[in-house]
Amino acid sequence: MNILMALSQLEVTGAEVYATTVGDELTSRGHNVFYISDTLTKPHQGPSFTLRFNKRSIPRRFWHVSYLVYLIKKHNIQLVHAHSRASSWSCHLACKLTGTPMVTTVHGRQPVHASRKKFHAMGNKALPVCETIKAQLIQDLGVAETQLEVSRNGIETTRFNVCEPPKNPRPVITIVGRLTGPKGDLCFRLLSECLDLEKYDVRVVSGSQCDTRFDAFKDNVTFTGYTHDVPKMLSQADLVIGAGRVAMESLLCGRPTLAIGEAASIGIVTPDNVQQAMATNFGDIGPKDLDIDFSNVANDVERVLSQNQCDPELTATIKASYNLTTVVDHLERIYQDVYIDTLRREMPVIMYHRFIQDESEKGVHGTYLHIEMFEKHLKLLKRMGFESLTFEDLAQSNLIRRLEPGKRYIMLTVDDGYADNYHLMMPLLKKYGFKAVVFVVTGETFNRWDVENPDNPETQVSLMTREQIKALADSGVVEIGGHTMSHPKLDNLSRDDQYREIIENKTLLEDLLCKPLTSFAYPFGLHNEDTKSITQDVGYQFAVATDSGPLQLHQDPYQIRRIGIFPRTDVFGLWRKVRGNYLFRKVKE
């Protein structure tokens, strides 16, 4: 995807670290990430643009919106991700004007006033970084809970390793954070009221300029300025004092950590209070700003300095909760939710069965299409600019690949494995440069499940031989998927019988093709929770239904909804079905 990260930064903050860290991970996954901000200090991949979001006069804001509209159109931005109040206000309007999906990560408490309540300006989805912010957005600003989803800070946890306790002549206490605003007030009070500056080697790490009130401490405190080597800085401390990312990174290094921020003092982080700490972003967010009791800080410092390391359980909790890969996986899912829901378009997954050459081959169940019409379908898809994907393609990259900018993707699926798939379909796929996924029944030689239907018997049609299945798979235009041994209604079977139908079919095909299968189709589209769990347990990465499942493909990769193609689906009918919004309109109707 083409993603624009928007910030309003005048100095390094947690929001900038978050945006660039997440942005670099997205870039490594193949996304094109752009940045726009007042300033951008952190090294980052991808183009960046300067815009003075903090200049908030009415003419300036008109300029902000106009410039954002220009960037969105010029760079084909598919989604805007804002990270501050100032940037989100302008981005919200620009996205409304251009129809661009937008999310906003909310890094701190929001101001409460009448205009803010009426105009949240957070786009399609707001992502508070902790539970306390989410509660404030609901209670104070009236943001609908359905518009909110907690999305934690992403940390490159591999950069931070538990280190040996330092051997310092005097205990080193490292305070990390801004020296301006509420964090500056917090640091001043810690130095003036809580810490024995003669007893401890106190170091203040900040990218902010010191104002004159800190001059009184310069003989006893080391003001180190900003550092790019955060792990080294943390490893040298006997105790780290900070909030937000500072506390998380300190705990990843195994350092005893006093979590105190703009709103609350959590105290020394322990396994007993880590969930409370996470819910408040380690003290940065609370019910009311600067509601901090400083009276116990000195005692907490004395107590924790007797420890060499923090509890290993804490480090494991932080790794599990803030791991960058997990956080960006979550973000990609949200991006897909917002993008598809806003535009009401999804990659069409269409379903064929068998192909005929003349009227004598027609069936009674409507699961056929004349091969001449199939060729017309492929010609139309070609003219519309479609390219085809298979599940193997998605497994090698990522489901979000289907939203690649400048591309229009479709997936062609074909059920049962009829012999005509080899004789008639494969040559046309090669001719027009399309690929398909063919789901194969392996325990039958013909469509017994339909022929022996007592209520409505079908014409007998041959299935592919082993040799034809192998040739289809080797053609380069077909992925073979599983479809059971005998095409039963799986939801009528016991779990054991379902397992046998699925695993035996999978084993036979994998032995034949000498590679693992990626996808499976439920016969008749019928399944239950046992079916889905078995499909996942045996190693399938995707499973398709027929007319059940969420409208967004990524929301349940084991119940992917498909669009049926029938004998009467002519070129116009196909055009209606593949425009991208067909299922959204159909379900609404």
Q: 395 and 315: one domain?
A: no
Q: Do the domain assignments include residue 332?
A: no
Half-sphere exposure of 444 (CA within 13 A, CB side): 24
Predicted local confidence at residue 285, as pLDDT: 85
Query: Letter for the amino acid at 567?
Result: P
The CA distance from 375 to 442, in Å, is 27
Q: 303 and 255: one domain?
A: yes
Q: 236 and 384: one domain?
A: no
Question: Which domain-ending residue is among 290, 322, 354?
Answer: 322
Report the relative pairing of strands 201-205 and 409-416 from DSSP bridges.
Answer: unpaired
Q: 291 and 381: one domain?
A: no
Write out the two tokens for 126. Answer: 């707001």
Question: Do 519 and 415 meet the contact criterion of CB atoms below 8 Å apart?
Answer: no
Q: Do the domain assignments include residue 331?
A: no
Q: 65 and 180: one domain?
A: no
Q: 116 and 162: one domain?
A: no
Distances from the Cα of 26 to the Cα of 19, 245, 279, 324, angstroms: 10, 19, 25, 10
Q: Do the domain assignments include residue 97?
A: yes
Write out the two tokens for 406. Answer: 């400048």
Q: What angle do CA 504, 537, 417 make, to 5 degrees?
A: 40
Predicted local confidence at residue 110, as pLDDT: 84
Mean pLDDT by 10 residues, the chain (589 residues): 93 85 95 95 92 90 96 98 93 97 92 74 94 93 94 89 90 91 90 93 88 91 88 93 92 94 89 94 76 82 85 93 94 97 96 96 92 98 98 93 95 98 98 98 97 92 98 97 98 98 98 98 97 98 96 97 96 96 83
Total of domains in the chain: 3
Q: What is the CATH number of the domain that holds 228?
A: 3.40.50.2000
Torsion angle defined by CA atoms of residues 478, 480, 485 and 488, in that order, rounded to the nearest 10 degrees: -70
Torsion angles phi and psi, residue 80, rounded to 5: -105, 135
**E strands present in 254-348:** 257-260, 265-268
Q: Which residues contact 5 (CB under 8 A, 6 or more apart)?
A: 19, 20, 23, 33, 34, 35, 36, 81, 83
Q: 572 and 492: one domain?
A: yes
Q: 394 and 514: one domain?
A: yes
- Exposed / middle / buried, residue 537 (Cβ in 10 Å: 0-12, 13-18, 19+): exposed
Domain hosting 57: range is 2-147
Predicted local confidence at residue 289, as pLDDT: 53
Write out the two tokens for 478. Answer: 């077909």
Q: Do the domain assignments include residue 385?
A: yes
The CA distance from 408 to 348, in Å, is 10
The CA distance from 121 to 371, in Å, is 52
Q: What is the CATH number of the domain that holds 384?
A: 3.20.20.370
* 3-class SS string, 151-216: CCCCECHHHCCCCCCCCCCCCEEEEECCCCHHHHHHHHHHHHHHCCCCCCEEEEECCCCCCHHHHH
155 conformational bin, left if phi > 0, alpha if psi -120 to 50, beta if neither: beta
Question: Which domain-ending residue is among 116, 147, 178?
Answer: 147
The CA distance from 256 to 250, in Å, is 8
Q: Do the domain assignments include residue 336?
A: no
Q: Do the domain assignments include residue 189?
A: yes
Predicted local confidence at residue 473, as pLDDT: 97
Predicted local confidence at residue 115, as pLDDT: 67
Write out the two tokens for 418. Answer: 């009829």
Kindly report the pTM of this predicted structure.
0.87
Predicted local confidence at residue 315, as pLDDT: 94
Q: Do the domain assignments include residue 250?
A: yes
Q: 300 and 424: one domain?
A: no
The CA distance from 522 to 519, in Å, is 10
Half-sphere exposure of 21 (CA within 13 A, CB side): 22
Question: Which domain-ending residue is among 147, 167, 199?
Answer: 147
Q: 256 and 290: one domain?
A: yes
Q: 286 and 403: one domain?
A: no
Q: 141 and 34: one domain?
A: yes
Q: Do the domain assignments include residue 515?
A: yes
